[in-house]
Structure formats: structure tokens, C-alpha cells
Amino acid sequence: MKNKLIYGLLILLFAFMYSCKEDQIEDAEYSPEREFMTMFRNDNNTGKGDSDPYRCQVVDVNDVHLYWYGVIGSAGYEIKMALQPNVSSGLASDWENPAFILLDTIVGPDVLDIIIKDLQYSTDYRFAIRTLSTKGEGYHSKWYGYGSGRQWAEYQGLATQERYSIPEVIVVDNITKTSLRVNIDRSLEASGDDGTFTTHFEIDENGNFVMQILTVEASATNPDATVPDEWKRYIITSEDFETGYIDIDGLQENSVYVINVENINIPVHWDAIYNTCVIRMDGEPGEPILIPHYVDPNDTIEGAVEYNACRIDTIIDNYTADASLAEGTVFYLEGGKTYYLYNNTSLCKGMTLATKPEDLAAGKRAKVLLSGMSLAASGIANQMNFMFGRRPQAGELGGINIKSLIFEGIDFDCPLAKNYGDGSSNGNYFINMYSDGMAVTLQSFEVRNCTFQRMVRGFIRVQGVNRKTFEHVIVEDCMVYNCGFYDNNGRGYAWVAGDGSNAKSNIFMDMVFRNNTFYDSPRTCFFTDGGKNLDWSSSIQYKITFENNTLVNFSTRSSGRKLFDLRYLPSGSSITVKKNLFIQTKKTEDTRNMYFEGMDIRFINGAAQEITFDIADNYSSSSDETQQVFDGIFTSAAFSANKNSAGAYTLNSPGIIQGEEQLVVKVGGTPDAPTPISPTELMKSPNPPNVADDPNMHEIDNLDGLYFNNTATVHNHEIYTLGIGDPRWR
């Protein structure tokens, strides 16, 4: 096989000669006596795809087998390996940074392949190779593999496969500036075993996972952070197991640490460890940092100059890696100015991004474009999102803890994003998550006084198999409109899209939507956890509060688009729905569908099967006279329905529920003597400006038409007197 590769390369060598002569003219440092550049074998230079048995490939899940072409008369070959994020630029300076290189080895001239075993699971690696000359350093070939990925002919990347399921045996809390607590739960019974744990992990006679060592290391984010010798390789005692936790001290504030427990009976490191915890220590945030608005007139990013936009994703990325800035740092943007993201931006270190208070008080708001400033060749806008958490770095297999992520007083937009009516649609969100993202515990996610336009596919979305725990979520005083529809039925992802892939996940632990307006903007539903019936532990409970919101034409395109699509709720959950205003409105000649549905809740999962509903004082207004009655706003699945909704639990659940009559969405007056008020009586100009089949039928220039009319009819109506809906419109 090796001889075939060598002779096969002779053809390539002749093809290289002309380009080498050109290099000799253009590159003064090029010597015609340098060795020819070898190449890794891949589809870019063989055209054989997976049919080539000698292609570079992943084998046995987390081993890689590299093959390359031989160069006759060489002294050998030098091979480098690095993580994809560290060298994705393709710059030589990154490939020559020792901190980024995981492997740098030399093999002899007769060696044309190498197997690198036991790599980290679910990880993207890149590789580089050069031919070595018998004449020494100045005569070695150029490197193959330094490309950024766009240089497809000089690029070699491979991603290892996903590791088998891992029990979450350690969880970290009580984090201070210099100390933390590692809680240990070794029980197989309590692990949520999916049937594979006993295959891949050693279990002792007491039904516990076997582990002996706890390690604390400085993360690659801050490799010089202090780690006391005691914790670098700590032997876990029987007393530690009995207590159930280990208190770690002597760490460095603002720094990130990687914590593992491992079984020394397993020879391969990536199989010996359990779940990894990646923890950032506390620190004292300094004064808020103003990001001054500056537009480079020579900015090469398409659209930046045209939109007079200042880039900020690099600033957020640098903050994440800067141990001198404590988690919780506040960044201010200049009001009346436009900023933008060029890349997806990982939010893995608590921070605040807000319009400068003085500017906000003066009525000047900062705008942040989630790219969308130019169109790709496909005609789809280039769009970027914020991302919950991040992908793992070297040595990381577990989860990270994030303090508060806060956005305040900002207008978010993706100006060139298209919806389905334009003939194509963008797959964008406000905040998404990588499918291979690390497990994450988020202390709070707060969005206040912001506006959102052209988030076509979704708003808040999580995904992937790893655990997600959001302790508090609040979206308050926001306006969302012009968000389009991802497909003809108005689907995509929910306003809040959980994935239902992990029984330990809970993004609905304490979720509040209050005083917001959502205008049209079709979605699959408002809240969903993926519709999965999981075996939740007793500690998993949902608490969702939805109050004083105004929803105009919520997901009217097709049936099945509900506010609450939470089919299998964990026992002990509670749902509060109060003082919301639901409006269905259109022009007389508009033939669009006007569907509106409430809940799909089918089963309470858990021994107690308890659930608490607190539903009261919700009102509606419709341009359709047939809907101007109590509960008339619903085309299906009303809150009061006696199947798969709150009404089904008034008699069948031991939980607490308000009186059954409160479940009904009112129009004013009483059921026997209703006093409905139409949307155009209530508000100045609530109707969509465009009618059915117009590509822009779900869009509107602004929401000023939602202000209440200053009439006695309005002022005397219950919607006004009881303070129903988003208070900004009164």
C-alpha cells in the first residue's frame, strides 16, 4: 500500500512543479530546493469519498487514522494536531502557538499513516503535515492543513464520535471567590441509568459507581490559574463519600476550573472520568464598561459600513476569556447607535448588555443586529445568534455554571432575514444552543425592555443531550413583532423551546413572561419541552408565570399552535396565567385563518400527580363577532376544556386550582350578558396592514396602533379598569 501511495504521488509532483515555479517568483522566501508538500488523503484530492480505504477517518468512535502521500527522498514527516476552535483561523501564528498544539510528532520517510488513539469524545480536531528535508529546516516543505476550512484543498479536520451516556455523579455549588463544594452521588439507582451505565462503568457490590480520585485543573481559558497541590490529585476518602461532598479551597477568583472524578482501574483517561464540571469562581465586577461606537470605514464585513454598525461579538468573546474581568461585568452600548454580531456568540460567562442609562432615559436606544446585513449566494441573509453556554474545550466532558445573563433596553434585529412568504426563510433565533454544547446551569436569564424583530425560526431554544438547568428566566416589558413564519403552517420552534432529551434538565424552573407584547409572528407554540414523557426526579418541577401580556394574532396560520404545549408535566408543577389580553383582528376583506389554541397537558408525571393552576382574569377582543363571547377566542384547546387542559384537573387532581369559572377567557360583563369590545374600538389601529397571501401579511411597521383609544367606552371597560394586558398601551 505504501509503494502505491508513493508512485501515485509522482503524478501529483509533476502537477505541483508549475505552481512551485510561480511560488519561486512570488515568494522571495521560497527555495526551489524545498521538499514537495505532501497532503493528507481525503476526498478533496482523491475524489473517492468514503470508498477510499486509505482516507483520513475516525475509527472506533474516538481514534483517528491519518493517511498521507509519500514524497520520494524525504527525511520524514511532521504531523500536528489541534482543537478546531483554536486553529480555525488557519493562521500560521495559531498553528505555531505551543498552547494550541495537542500533538507534534515526527515519523520516518517510510511511514505514511498514523493512528492517534483515545481522543476526547465529540470533539473537532484539525491536523497539519509537512515534508521534512534531509538538508534541514530551511528546506522543509510548506505546511498542508493550515487552511481555515474555506481553503478546502489545504484542510484536514475530523470529529470524534459521541461518548456513551455518562452518569452525572458530581455537581458543584457554594461557589465563592476562592472555594466551592463538589457534591458526590455514586448511586446507580439514583443515576437515571438508561441501560448502558453498567456496561461502561464499574459498579461496586453496594450499587455505587467506582471512583477514587478527584482532580482540579485550571481550564484552558486561564491555564495559569492557581491550584493548590492538595487538589491536583486528591484521594477521595470514605468520610468524603459518607458526607456526600468535598469542599475545595485555595482557588483563584474570576478563574475557570475543570473538576473530574475518575476510576483509576480504567486505563483510558476519557473512559475513566465521569461527568466534568467546569466552574468559574466569583469575583468583584468593576465599574460598567462602555463600548464606544466605532465604525471602521474599511470594514470588510459586508453591510457593516452601510448599516453604520460597530462589531461587538469579539468584545464578548474576549471578555469570556479575560480572567481580569469578573463574571457579572456590565457593558453599556451608546443609545441611538447600531452594533452587530458577525459570528454566533457564546454566552458562558455572566454579564449584562444594556443601553447606557442616560441615553435610555433620553429616549435613545442602542440597536444590535444579529448580522442579517447581507445576503449569501443562496439569497438567504447571513444571520447569527447568541448561544447558551459553549462547546467543550480540551479536557471538558461535563457542564458549566453561568451566573446572570441580562439584556436591557436594546432593539434586536436581523434586517434582511426572510420569512416563508418571501419564498425562503431564515433559520435564526435570538438565543440558541449548540447541539454538542456542554451541560449548563444558568443562575438567571433576564430580558427587560427590549424589542425583537425578524427572529424567524425561534426565540429561546435549547438542544442537545446534555443537562440544562435555568434557575430563573424573566422576559419583561418587551415587544416582539415582524418575526415572520418559518413554514407555511407557521411552525419552526416555540417562543421557548425545550428539547425534552434529558430527565435532569429543567429550563422552566421559574420562568416569567410579564408585561410583553407579541404581535403576530407565528410559532409552533409558546412553551414546549419537546412533548417527551420523561422519568423526572421529584426535584424537577415547572413553575411558569404568564401575566399581563398582550398577544395579537398569536399563531393564526394553522391549528395545533398552542400557548402551552407541555403534554407531560412533572408532578408538583404550577402554571399561572393571569390578566393577559388575547386579540384576534384583521380587516374585513382579509381572508387569513384566525386559529387560537390554549393548552395541551395530558399527564402529570410522578407518584403524587399534583399540579397547581392559577388562571384568572384573562380577556379577549376579536374582530369576528362569533368570537365575542366568553371563551370564544379559542378555536380549540381552551384553558377550560375538560380534556388535555387545565379544566381536566379541576376534579381529577389534588392540586389547587382557582374556581372553574376563572379558567374562561372573558370579554367583559357576564356569560349571560357579555359586553365585548372590538379591537378597533379598543385600540387606535390594531389590524395588520397587509391581507392574506401578501408575502408581508404578518408584518407591521411599528406597534403604535396598539395604544388604547381615549374614549369612555374604553375607560369603562373591564380590560381597562382591571389593567388587563401589557400596561404600556393604556
Report if residue 661 sits inside a domain: yes
Cβ atoms of 621 and 668 closer than 8 Å: no
Report if residue 429 sits inside a domain: yes
Alpha helix segments (H runs only) across 67-114: 84-87, 92-95
The C-alpha atoms of residue 139 and residue 165 are separated, in whole angstroms, by: 48
Q: How confident is the model at residue 328 (pLDDT cuts 50, 70, 90)?
A: very high
Bridge-based pairing of strands 527-528 and 496-497 is parallel
Same domain, 602 and 621: yes
Q: How confident is the model at residue 12 (pLDDT cuts 50, 70, 90)?
A: very low
461-476 pLDDT tens trace: 999 878 899 999 999 9
Q: Is the pLDDT of residue 549 over 50?
A: yes
147-203 pLDDT tens trace: 776 666 788 999 898 788 888 899 888 899 999 999 999 999 888 787 899 999 999
Write down the residue that cell numbers 514527516 correspond to: 77
Please tell me the total count of domains within the chain: 4
Of 404, 574, 411, residue with least CA distance to 474: 404
Picking from 107, 126, 159, the residue at the C-terminal end of a domain is 159
Instruction: Show Cβ contacts of residue 1 under 8 Å, excluding neighbours closer than 6 positions.
Output: 54, 112
The C-alpha atoms of residue 231 and residue 565 are separated, in whole angstroms, by: 46
Q: How confident is the model at residue 654 (pLDDT cuts 50, 70, 90)?
A: very low
Same domain, 232 and 210: yes
φ and ψ at residue 645, rounded to 5 degrees? -155, 180
The C-alpha atoms of residue 308 and residue 300 are separated, in whole angstroms, by: 13
Which pLDDT belongs to residue 149?
64
Q: Is the pLDDT of residue 3 over 90?
A: no
Q: Is the pLDDT of residue 612 over 60?
A: yes
Q: How confident is the model at residue 397 (pLDDT cuts 50, 70, 90)?
A: low
Report if residue 506 sits inside a domain: no
Report if residue 497 sits inside a domain: no
Which pLDDT belongs to residue 442?
93
Bridge-based pairing of strands 76-83 and 101-107 is antiparallel
Picking from 280, 296, 312, the residue at the C-terminal end of a domain is 280
136-153 pLDDT tens trace: 988 999 999 997 766 667
Same domain, 583 and 723: yes
- The predicted model scores a pTM of 0.78
Instruction: Show Cβ contacts of residue 672 under 8 Å, excluding neighbours closer than 6 positions.
Output: none
The C-alpha atoms of residue 78 and residue 94 are separated, in whole angstroms, by: 17
Q: C-alpha grid cell for residue 226?
A: 492557581
Report if residue 542 sits inside a domain: yes
Same domain, 549 and 590: yes
Q: Is the pLDDT of residue 101 over 60?
A: yes
Same domain, 194 and 129: no
Neighbours of 194 (CB within 10 A): 11
Range ranked top by mean pLDDT from 318-332, 498-512, 668-682: 668-682
Same domain, 309 and 436: yes
Q: In angstroms, what CA-CA distances link 556 with 171, 283, 515, 518, 698?
A: 43, 48, 21, 13, 10
Q: Is the pLDDT of residue 558 over 50?
A: yes
Q: C-alpha grid cell for residue 717?
A: 371597560
358-388 pLDDT tens trace: 999 999 999 999 999 999 888 899 999 999 9
Mean pLDDT of the 252-275 span: 93
Instruction: Show Cβ contacts of residue 62 under 8 Å, excluding neighbours closer than 6 positions.
Output: 117, 118, 119, 120, 121, 160, 161, 163, 270
Q: How confident is the model at residue 262 (pLDDT cuts 50, 70, 90)?
A: very high
Same domain, 153 and 59: yes
The C-alpha atoms of residue 391 and residue 11 are separated, in whole angstroms, by: 41
Longest CA–CA separation in the chain, Å: 99
Same domain, 729 and 671: yes
Same domain, 296 and 357: yes
Which pLDDT belongs to residue 150?
63
Which pLDDT belongs to residue 598?
97
Which pLDDT belongs to residue 649?
84
Q: C-alpha grid cell for residue 588?
A: 374585513
Mean pLDDT of the 191-217 span: 94
Q: How confident is the model at residue 7 (pLDDT cuts 50, 70, 90)?
A: very low
Q: CB-side exposure of 137: number of CA atoms within 13 Å?
A: 0
Same domain, 482 and 532: no
Mean pLDDT of the 567-595 span: 96
Chain center to CA of 26: 45
Mean pLDDT of the 524-528 span: 96
Which CATH number covers residue 204?
Answer: 2.60.40.10
Write down the residue that cell numbers 391549528 correspond to: 559
Same domain, 65 and 174: no
The C-alpha atoms of residue 324 and residue 332 are separated, in whole angstroms, by: 18
Q: How confident is the model at residue 1 (pLDDT cuts 50, 70, 90)?
A: very low
Write down the residue that cell numbers 468535598 correspond to: 246
The C-alpha atoms of residue 451 and residue 581 are separated, in whole angstroms, by: 19
The C-alpha atoms of residue 627 and residue 679 are separated, in whole angstroms, by: 12
Higher-confidence residue: 256 or 628?
A: 628
Q: Is the pLDDT of residue 658 over 80?
A: no
Which pLDDT belongs to residue 14?
35
Instruction: Show Cβ contacts of residue 296 under 8 Å, excluding neighbours closer than 6 positions.
Output: 304, 305
Higher-confidence residue: 17 or 611?
A: 611
Cα Rg of the chain (Å, integer): 29
Which pLDDT belongs to residue 439?
83
Mean pLDDT of the chain: 90
Which pLDDT belongs to residue 135?
94
Write down the residue that cell numbers 441509568 correspond to: 193
Lowest mean pLDDT among 20-29, 323-332, 558-567: 20-29
Report if residue 472 sits inside a domain: yes
Cβ atoms of 128 and 97 closer than 8 Å: no
Bridge-based pairing of strands 124-132 and 157-159 is antiparallel
Which pLDDT belongs to residue 153?
74
The C-alpha atoms of residue 255 and residue 224 are separated, in whole angstroms, by: 9
Q: How confident is the model at residue 607 (pLDDT cuts 50, 70, 90)?
A: confident
Q: Is the pLDDT of residue 212 over 90?
A: yes
Which pLDDT belongs to residue 211?
98
Which pLDDT belongs to residue 616?
94
- DSSP strand E in 45-174: where? 57-59, 63-67, 76-83, 101-107, 113-116, 124-132, 157-159, 170-173
Picking from 159, 180, 196, the residue at the C-terminal end of a domain is 159
Of 275, 279, 281, 280, residue with least CA distance to 170: 275
Report if residue 500 sits inside a domain: no
Mean pLDDT of the 110-116 span: 98
Which pLDDT belongs to residue 660?
62
The C-alpha atoms of residue 230 and residue 234 are separated, in whole angstroms, by: 6
The C-alpha atoms of residue 182 and residue 261 are separated, in whole angstroms, by: 10
- The residue range of the domain holding 273 is 170-280
Which pLDDT belongs to residue 427?
92
Instruction: Show Cβ contacts of residue 640 under 8 Å, excluding neighbours closer than 6 positions.
Output: 631, 646, 647, 660, 663, 664
Which pLDDT belongs to residue 19?
38
First to last CA, the chain: 80
- DSSP assigned state of 35: P
Q: How confident is the model at residue 20 (pLDDT cuts 50, 70, 90)?
A: very low
Report if residue 93 sits inside a domain: yes
Same domain, 196 and 94: no
Q: Is the pLDDT of residue 247 over 80?
A: yes
Handedness of CA 519, 560, 570, 388 (dihedral sign): negative
What DSSP line would sit under 614-674, residue for residue? EEE--EEEESSGGG-STTTT-SB--TT-SSSSGGGGTTT-SS-B--GGGGSPB-SB-SSSB
